[in-house]
Chain A
Amino acid sequence: DQQVKQNSPSLSVQEGRISILNCDYTNSMFDYFLWYKKYPAEGPTFLISISSIKDKNEDGRFTVFLNKSAKHLSLHIVPSQPGDSAVYFCAASHMDSNYQLIWGAGTKLIIKP
């Protein structure tokens, strides 16, 4: 039973346009959400996070939106750059075991020049 789902295995976006990556979750106990970025042959690196008390968090070109009623979050990248091409993972945790991240399967983002 996947508690965190990323339904798009891949996404292709033109350079300069907006990239929108989606993530759905089923466990209403989740209260903290993170996005990680992963290049081939490297470990995941933290990108941005959001607490369940907020509905938006912004960091430069990256914005994460959280819709608790829909149990949905999204990552917006604007403008998209070639270096953004990577696999993006959504992860979640809840306060009872906030060190234990539950991960989605990832979405491979390809930025076309």
Chain B
Amino acid sequence: GAGVSQTPSNKVTEKGKYVELRCDPISGHTALYWYRQSLGQGPEFLIYFQGTGAADDSGLPNDRFFAVRPEGSVSTLKIQRTERGDSAVYLCASSTTLAGELFFGEGSRLTVL
């Protein structure tokens, strides 16, 4: 489809493992955002890309989290040494312009056992 695509939709991993979550934004959208939604809470900002560069990564909780967008389209959120507290739905969104309407993907549900 033409929407934001996120894979995998579900990921179960063990504590200490490495995880990658992928986001394919809407074609032509230059801005890409990652949010994290824990159970019973609203989404929490993680990082924002304008083109290939991370314009603001102030929401990343610690240095175990890293995100890239090497060609200005697909983005990968990488989590090292996963912890149980990382369990959440990771939402990706894109927009045509900075602060334009956000279009969200369905999210990747991460469960760390």
Contact = CB atoms under 8 A, between A and B. Distances in A.
A28 interface: no
Interface stretch (B37-45, B62-70, B72-80): B37-45
B78 to A, nearest CB: 21
B48 A99 contact: yes
Interface string B1-27: 000100000000000000000000000
**What is the predominant secondary structure among interface residues of chain A facing chain B?**
loop
Given A43-B4, A43-B107, A100 B42 contact: no
Contacts, number: 52
Q: Which of B42, B43, B55, B56 is packed against the most chain A CB atoms within 10 Å?
A: B42
Given A98-B99, A99-B98, A43 B42 contact: no
Contacts of B43: 44, 89, 101, 103
A21 interface: no
